[in-house]
Copies of this chain bind each other. A is one copy, B any other.
Amino acid sequence: MSNISSDVIRGYNDTMILYLLWEQPSYGYEISKQIKSLSEEKYIIKETTLYSAFTRMEKNGYVESFSSDENGGKRRTYYRITDAGRQYYKEKCSEWHLTKDVIENFIRDDI
């Protein structure tokens, strides 16, 4: 039974996160659950990977964080995608098509 290896997805975690932030800000735990459900449980991002992605992307200016000044509920750190982040996401999307085409030249379906 072959599983998703993280080496494969490496470099697309950021993309997945940005996809989910595209419409509205969100925070770690929610993102992680959305990745799980959108991928039909096939990919579960590790917590450390996720949070370090946030930190990295904030440093790169792809997201910005703000605290929930709530009104009950736990304190959370929300992340909002920036324009640079949207740009980066778009680049990753077109890169994806390229990459997919390249890799598929090396995949056999007939074995």
Contacts from A to B (Cβ < 8 Å): 2-5, 7-12, 15-16, 19-20, 22, 38-39, 42-43, 90-96, 98-103, 105-109, 111
Interface of A is mostly: helix
Shortest C-beta distance, A79 to chain B (Å), equals 16
Q: Is the CB–CB distance between A43 and B108 below 8 Å?
A: no
Seed contacts A8-B99, A38-B106; 12 additional CB < 8 Å A-B pairs: A2-B98, A3-B95, A3-B98, A7-B10, A7-B11, A12-B106, A15-B107, A20-B106, A22-B108, A42-B98, A90-B111, A93-B111
Q: Is the CB–CB distance between A2 and B95 below 8 Å?
A: yes
Selected A-B contacts with CB under 8 Å, 14 pairs: A2-B92, A2-B95, A2-B98, A3-B98, A5-B99, A8-B95, A9-B99, A12-B103, A19-B106, A19-B107, A22-B108, A43-B102, A93-B111, A96-B107
Shortest C-beta distance, A47 to chain B (Å), equals 19
Closest residue of B by beta carbon distance from A39: B102
Shortest C-beta distance, A99 to chain B (Å), equals 5
